[in-house]
Amino acid sequence: MTATIALIDDDRNILTSVGIALQAEGFTTRLYTDGESALKALIDNPPDLAVSDIKMPRLDGLEMLRRLREKSSLPVIFLTSKDDELDEALGLALGADDYIAKPFSQRLLIARIRAILRRVELSKVDPGEPSGEVPDPVVRGRLELDPARHRVHWAGSSVTLTVTEFMILEALAQRPDVVKSRSQLMDVAYQDDTYVDDRTIDSHIKRLRRKFRAVDPQFDAIETLYGAGYRFSDG
């Protein structure tokens, strides 16, 4: 069945270009130019996923998401200004599923949409029913990582990650004590030919550590090997 994506942005050029790209990939789109009209539609006639700008007239994306989360767990991807960590942090705290900084690659956005929709579908699978399509959970010491349901726990405490952060952590945890270069992690997190520099991966690692240290101030399982990359070690 065709997935329906709501696009919310006061920039009509972005709405048009992204809408065309999504339709070319087989998605149905609904377009909104402000958070207030979008909120009513998301609640009354929910799509499968929403992609929203944060800074908009009438009702900004953060307040829209706060009100939406009172009634719905609809997946939401935020479009943010480059390096605006405050918006990102607030969005994730309110329950956003991922964020992508402007300017962005449409192929990257489509890949993130597909990844989130797949996790939503897998989360509906009864764990008692065997299925070769459902990846097994990864347990490494105090880390419990469930790829199918996009859930992460550290020493029993839940840690909320974006799709990109989850992919990087999963790549590290799959082979503990093995060093992954920044280039290898970029290949995992950005599975298209969008150029990202080393600092992008460093920023994701920094956010990962910050989130884990919020539940465990002594967290040190993601190690930096200067000149080589990163590795996961919890032993």
Instruction: Please say whether the beta carbons of 119 and 132 come within 8 A.
Output: no
For residues 143 and 74, membership in a common domain is answered with no
User: Residue 6 corresponds to which tokens in the numbers above?
Assistant: 């709501």
**Distance of alpha carbon 12 from the chain centroid:** 24
Instruction: Please tell me the predicted confidence (pLDDT) of residue 98.
Output: 83
pLDDT at 78 over 50: yes
Answer yes or no: do 12 and 108 share one domain: yes
Q: Which of 73, 97, 123 is the last residue of a domain?
A: 123
Asked if the model's pLDDT at residue 85 lies above 90, the reply is no
| Cα 186 to Cα 49: distance, rounded to the nearest angstrom | 25
Domain match, 99 and 175 both: no
Q: Which residues pair with 49 in a beta bridge?
A: 5
Please check whether residue 130 lies inside any domain of the structure.
Answer: no
DSSP state of 227: T
Backbone angles phi, psi at 162, to 5 degrees: -75, 170
pTM confidence score: 0.69
Q: Cβ of 4: how many Cβ atoms within 10 Å? A: 16
Query: Does residue 193 have a pLDDT over 50?
Result: no
User: 67: domain CATH number?
Assistant: 3.40.50.2300
- Taking the C-alpha atoms of residue 112 and residue 117, their distance in angstroms, rounded to an integer, is 9
Same domain for 183 and 207:
yes
pLDDT per position as a tens digit, 117-142? 887 776 665 555 555 566 788 999 99
Is the same domain home to 117 and 145?
no
Proportion of the chain above pLDDT 90, given as a percent: 49
Confidence label for 80 from pLDDT (cuts 50, 70 and 90): confident
| pLDDT number for residue 197 | 56
Residue 122: half-sphere exposure toward Cβ, Cα within 13 Å = 20
Whether residue 111 sits in one domain with residue 185: no
| Whether residue 166 sits in one domain with residue 103 | no
Range scoring the smallest mean pLDDT among 22-26, 68-72, 203-207: 203-207
Q: Are residues 142 and 185 in the same domain?
A: yes
Specify whether 196 is located in the same domain as 157.
yes
Does residue 18 sit in helix, strand or coil? helix
Q: Which of 56, 89, 123 is the last residue of a domain?
A: 123
Which domain does 54 fall in, by range? Answer: 4-123
More confident residue, 81 or 151: 151
155 and 203 fall within a common domain: yes
Give the count of domains, the chain.
Answer: 2
- Give the pLDDT of residue 1: 63
Q: What is the CATH number of the domain that holds 173?
A: 1.10.10.10
Identify whether 56 is part of a domain. Answer: yes
- Highest-scoring range by mean pLDDT, 19-23, 84-88, 223-227: 19-23
List residues bridging with 16 in a β-sheet.
none
Assess whether 31 and 113 both reside in one domain: yes
- Regarding whether 32 and 119 lie in a shared domain, the answer is yes
